[in-house]
Amino acid sequence: MLNQLEEIEQAALVALDEVEDEQAMEQWRVANLGRSSPLMAVFDQMRDLPKDERPAIGRRSNEVKQKLEKKHSEKADLINQLALQKSLETERLDVTMPGRPVSLGRLHPITTTMRQIYRIFAEMGFQIYQSRDVETDEYNFQLLNFPPHHPAREMQDSFYIAGHYEEDNPVLLRTHTSPGQIHKMREHSAINPKDPPEIRIILPGMCYRHEQISARAESQFTQVEGLAVGKQITFSDLKGTLSDFNKRMFGQNVRSRFRASHFPFTEPSAEVDIECFVCGGEGCPVCKRTGWLEILGCGMVHPIVLQNGGYDPNIYTGFAFGMGPERITMLRHRVEDIRYFWANDVRFLEQF
Ligand code: PHE
């Protein structure tokens, strides 16, 4: 049996010399030190030996086992070292190389402007109301008092949804956020038709027009609509609210100007300008030498529109306004072409 142990040891050491990689190393370990290795078989046979032979065989078996284990760990270390050396040579780790810059995402400039508008109106007690992008002709035009042949209703000016064409009430993408006025008023007046609650909301969202696309017109753009309905609301409230908004948005010293205008759903209607914040009213290229910048459209809610929303125009009055965050952002940041906003060019977006 001692001879057998000698042979086991010799054979294992010879085999170990041939081991060159991690995989062969593991195979060697299983074959020479594993459960079913010849060495383990010797340990198993020990209990069948005569008592006086056991100590010598036992001692030798342990010696062989310890030796093989030691040789195994030495060789394993060597193999690891060689592998590391090789990978350092072939993979050329250059620890002086600068890291890749981590690029942080940020808010779209229109989102930033919208959030400023929300915050200012929130301070004045306006809540945000989301209204749908896909509308019917009825909500987008008819209930807002557009006459039947108003130019905005022409096929060329709006995106109509194919397959949903009803002769007198086709489905279309909203051309402005104003249909939200009717939705909100109807929602409120349905709750309490006799005495519907007052309203103070802003309605933000994307609008769509079949425009000739240019530096000043996109087929898709955002609007923020405002609507206040109550029993004592006057044109002074409209002027006060919007003048104050302009100050909070563009600076405490900025002056506002209201110019008579026309919208089918407001009467009287106005357009609001602010004093040019680039030249302070002197006249410059940004304000086209007029000293004023047009910011939004507004007016007192037309009695027919109040009626359509379920509010009795003999009891209720209200004001509404609509502004374009793209235009405001263009003025503030001197962006010269509206098409940059939704073109998704990171070189533009990274500037904000
Ligand atoms: N809906 C109008 C537009 O798109 C803006 C507006 C809203 C005007 C509310 C008056 C009142 O141009």
Using alpha carbons only, what angle is made at residue 114 by residues 113 and 118, rounded to the nearest 5 degrees? 120
> Which architecture, in CATH terms, is 109-349?
2-Layer Sandwich (3.30)
Q: How far apart are CA 230 and CA 214, in angstroms?
A: 40
Nearest to 319 by CA among 206, 180, 181, 132: 181
Q: Is ligand 1 within 6 A of the CB of residue 320?
A: yes
Please work out whether the CB of residue 205 comes within 6 Å of at least one atom of ligand 1. Answer: no
Ligand 1 atom 4: residue of nearest CA = 176
Element (H, E) at 215: none
Backbone angles phi, psi at 253, to 5 degrees: -95, 0
Q: Ligand 1: which of 141, 239, 263 to mutate, judged by most atoms within 8 Å of the beta carbon?
A: 263
pLDDT in tens, the chain (352 residues): 888 889 999 999 999 999 888 899 999 999 999 988 999 988 888 888 888 888 888 888 999 999 999 999 999 999 999 988 888 888 877 889 899 988 888 999 999 999 999 999 999 999 999 999 999 999 999 999 998 888 767 766 889 888 766 777 889 999 999 999 999 999 999 999 999 999 999 999 999 999 899 998 999 999 999 999 999 999 999 999 999 999 999 999 999 999 999 999 999 999 999 999 889 899 998 899 999 999 999 999 999 999 999 999 999 999 999 999 999 999 999 999 999 999 999 999 999 9
How many other C-beta atoms are found inside a 10 Å radius of the C-beta of residue 218?
20
321 lines ligand 1 (CB under 6 A): yes
C-alpha 288 – ligand 1 centre gap (Å) = 23
Pocket test for ligand 1, best of 117, 173, 225 (most atoms within 8 A of CB): 225
Which tens digits make up the pLDDT trace of 205-225?
A: 999 999 899 998 999 999 999
CB of 282 closer than 8 Å to CB of 268:
no
Ligand 1 close to Cβ of residue 298 (< 6 A): yes
Residue in 176, 238, 323, 328 to alter for ligand 1 test, most ligand atoms within 8 A of Cβ: 176
- What is the distance between the alpha carbons of residues 322 and 304, in angstroms, rounded to a whole number? 19
